[in-house]
Amino acid sequence: MKYTRIAGTGSYLPAKVQTNADLEKIVDTTDQWIIERTGVHSRRIMEETETTTSMAKIAAERAIEASGIDKNKIGMIIVATVTPETLFPNTATKLQKLLGITATKCPAFDISAACSGFICALSVADQYIRSGAVEYALIVGVESLTKFVDWTDRSTCILFSDGAGAAVLQAADAPGVYSTHIHADGDYGELLCLSGSSYKYDEPRYIRMRGNEVFKVAVTKLGEAVDEALAHNNLDRAAIDWLVPHQANLRIIQAMAKRLKLPMERVILTLANQGNTSAASVPLALDIGVRDGRIKRGDTLLLEAFGAGFIWGSALIKY
């Protein structure tokens, strides 16, 4: 039986920074109010010349370079995004073309699972690698969320950001990915959604969220996902070296760290300077933790995310 290991990671953030002070000029809010309720100090805004695919390309190239493999060995590309440039062709095939991956036996498709997208992509790729169908896979989380932000809605415009994160996965003889666990409950769909009709492409569409209700469900479901991952692998909380969470709200992250009895120093935090990048947030945090030397080979990581749908999940990994 084959296992899945992370061979390399990469990420990309737009250069443009929007601070809380910038937001104070355009919406009824304050720096203190935003920080107290979310933990966000600033966020990244893509330029007009940037696209979902162009950001994904840079993150993917960095992950491939870090892995040290020939890009044409990649046998599967999965892009997690809810903000593609076009409904079809999908972002993954556009990325395949931009990367110049000539292997024709390389399926490329998107996953739409909002903030949990990268966890879902990891789960799918892991199954293909374990089965022996694929030896190398490229998974990317990327979002252009600020294109759908209502800059008059202070409950959402303070949160969302743009960026991309990626990982190259490869088959291995020893466990890397111990297990993944993904769940969904469509009863909560209206609590976090994109307004407007999918059949009327010329009307404005904005992110809408009932924050307090989302918060309550997120804390409960993420807590269950954390417990599930540990129980499935017969591991105690002390086995976790690093928590790599979705970066949505500092209070949610603190609640998960408390549940694991982890000090915040053992949590990879990017929220303050990146905001919520949805499907990109987990791989962005993972790449930053790897590249700054905090996450080392052999460390046990718990990845978790919760997002619109509602869809949530976790992955327990030996890096």
Catalytically annotated residue among 90, 120, 246, 249: 246
Rounded Cα–Cα distance for residues 293 and 289 (Å): 6
Indicate whether 114 and 166 sit together in one domain: yes
Indicate whether 58 and 114 sit together in one domain: yes
Indicate whether 234 and 166 sit together in one domain: no
CB atoms within 10 A of CB 146: 22
Catalytically annotated residue among 115, 120, 181, 249: 115
Task: Examine the residue annotation and report whether 234 is marked as an active-site residue of this protein.
Answer: no
Parent domain of 183: 178-318
CB 188 within 8 A of CB 309: yes
> For position 237, which CATH number holds?
3.40.47.10
Q: Which one of 115, 141, 173 terminates a domain?
A: 173
Indicate whether 292 and 243 sit together in one domain: yes
Domain count, the chain: 2
Task: Examine the residue annotation and report whether 233 is marked as an active-site residue of this protein.
Answer: no
Spatial CB neighbours of 144, under 8 Å, sequence gap ≥ 6:
46, 50, 51, 52, 55, 83, 85, 162
Indicate whether 51 and 70 sit together in one domain: yes
Indicate whether 128 and 53 sit together in one domain: yes
Tens place of pLDDT per residue across the chain (319 aa): 899 999 999 999 999 999 999 999 999 999 999 999 999 999 999 999 999 999 999 999 999 999 999 999 999 999 999 999 999 999 999 999 999 998 778 999 999 999 999 999 999 999 999 999 999 999 999 999 999 999 999 999 999 999 999 999 999 999 999 999 999 999 999 999 998 755 565 678 899 999 999 999 999 999 999 999 999 999 999 999 999 999 999 999 999 999 999 999 999 999 999 999 999 999 999 999 999 999 999 999 999 999 999 999 999 999 9
Indicate whether 10 and 123 sit together in one domain: yes
Sign of CA dihedral 112, 117, 122, 124: negative
Task: Examine the residue annotation and report whether 212 is marked as an active-site residue of this protein.
Answer: no
Indicate whether 153 and 166 sit together in one domain: yes
Indicate whether 121 and 25 sit together in one domain: yes
Rounded Cα–Cα distance for residues 117 and 131 (Å): 22
Q: Which one of 138, 158, 173 terminates a domain?
A: 173
Alpha-carbon distances, residue 316 vs 61, 89, 133 (angstroms):
25, 32, 22
**What six digits make up the tokens of 215?**
């918060």
Q: Which one of 173, 194, 211 terminates a domain?
A: 173
